Amino acid sequence: MSVFDLSSRTVLVTGATSGIGFETARQLAERGATVLLHGRTLDDAQAAADRLAATDGVDVDQLRLFGADFARLEEVEDLARRVVAEHPRLDVLVNNAATAAPERHTLTGDGNEITFQVNFLAHYLLTCLLEPALTTDPGGRVVNVSSSLHRTASIQWSDPHRARRYSRLAAYAQSQLALTVFAADPRVTAVSVHPGVCATGLLPLYALDGSPAADGAAHVVRLCDPAVEIVNGAYYDRDRRVDPAPAATEDRTVRRLSKLAGQLVGHGG
């Protein structure tokens, strides 16, 4: 994959402390971007920055550190406020942070099923709150790191928290379908990408082995390049644009999901 210059770009990567998020941050920084490095805590973000500087020769001056636990929507709001204050012009938001669904049904303090909140609702809220920064200049975009498992999912509209019937795989797949549908929201230009099955903490959901996280990250980073033209709502399987699940292209589903998410996070859709 060709190397391109991103020295004029400012990119926020959620979940940048391990796996594909860490490798995405590394590759962006290597290409000159200013990378806003998000971790669940500020200490986690600092540890990731130290690793980048020590092992990969990344200039620490390119890194900005942010902490927010996506299982707490109040922390997501604080994160957004700080980003907008410090970076009123944001070129790219990479919605990457994700958790494998727990074995048992688990609710956050906000009352949402934890997988749905961490993998989707937190990103929905963050994207909405960062909209002013992302639309300051033409070319601002959102890259949602999704999954091919979204094709196996359905959104349980009457029970999105799956209180009545919980399965960790179904909960995870639902969160990925929601993230993929959200890419078609008209408020910001966004795409979603399945980076391939990679050797990360989510691997047990997919297979026994996977590609290096750096390979998956390369597909994410490519979509951060302004030279790569994107269409709102497009879905990529690694570097190929393909059709997502039918629900992801339905205007009614996009509107319905936005309304549901807005209600659950307390921010109008």
Q: What are phi and psi of 113, to 5 degrees?
A: -55, 130
Determine the average pLDDT of the residues in 81-96.
97
Task: Quote the CA–CA distance of 98 and 46 in Å, as a whole number.
Answer: 19
Mean pLDDT of the chain, nearest integer: 91
Neighbour tally for 158: CB within 10 Å: 5
Report the DSSP beta bridge partners of residue 143: 94, 191
Assess whether pLDDT exceeds 60 at residue 198: no
pTM of the model: 0.94
Percentage of the chain beyond pLDDT 70 is 92
Neighbour tally for 267: CB within 10 Å: 15
Determine the average pLDDT of the residues in 39-66.
93
Helices (H), 36-167: 42-56, 73-86, 114-116, 122-134
CA angle 83, 85, 89 (to 5 degrees): 70
pLDDT at residue 251, as a whole number: 95
Helices (H), 89-165: 114-116, 122-134
The pLDDT confidence band at residue 209, using thresholds 50, 70 and 90, is low
Give the tens place of pLDDT for each residue, 248-269. 989 999 999 999 999 999 976 5
Determine the average pLDDT of the residues in 15-26.
95
pLDDT at residue 210, as a whole number: 56
Q: 161, exposed or middle or buried, with CB in 10 Å at 0-12, 13-18, 19+?
A: buried
Q: Mean pLDDT check: name the lowest of 54-68, 149-163, 185-199, 214-228.
A: 185-199
The pLDDT confidence band at residue 1, using thresholds 50, 70 and 90, is very low
CB 118 within 8 A of CB 145: no
72-102 burial, b at 16+ Cβ within 10 Å, e below that, comes to bbebbbebbeebbeebeebbbbbbbbbbbbe
Assess whether pLDDT exceeds 90 at residue 245: yes
Residue owning tokens 């990731």: 48
The pLDDT confidence band at residue 141, using thresholds 50, 70 and 90, is very high
The pLDDT confidence band at residue 137, using thresholds 50, 70 and 90, is confident
- Both structure tokens of 7: 């020295």
Determine the average pLDDT of the residues in 224-247.
93
Give the tens place of pLDDT for each residue, 28-37. 999 999 999 9
Task: Quote the CA–CA distance of 226 and 114 in Å, as a whole number.
Answer: 33
- What is the distance of C-alpha 167 from the center of its chain? 22
- What is the distance of C-alpha 225 from the center of its chain? 16
Higher pLDDT, 223 or 216: 223
Cβ neighbours of residue 74 under 8 Å, at least 6 residues apart? none
CB 91 within 8 A of CB 11: yes
- For the chain, the straight-line distance linking the first and the last C-alpha, in angstroms and rounded, comes to 37
Assess whether pLDDT exceeds 60 at residue 232: yes
Question: Exactly one of 172, 206, 235, 236 is catalytic; which is it?
Answer: 172
Higher pLDDT, 107 or 7: 107
- Both structure tokens of 120: 């989707």
- Look at residue 239 and give its three-state secondary structure: coil
- Is the torsion defined by CA of 10, 230, 258, 160 positive or negative? negative
Q: Mean pLDDT check: name the lowest of 74-78, 145-149, 222-226.
A: 145-149
Q: Mean pLDDT check: name the lowest of 18-32, 42-56, 194-208, 227-241.
A: 194-208
Task: Quote the CA–CA distance of 154 and 173 in Å, as a whole number.
Answer: 8
pLDDT at residue 139, as a whole number: 77
166 in catalytic set: no
pLDDT at residue 212, as a whole number: 74
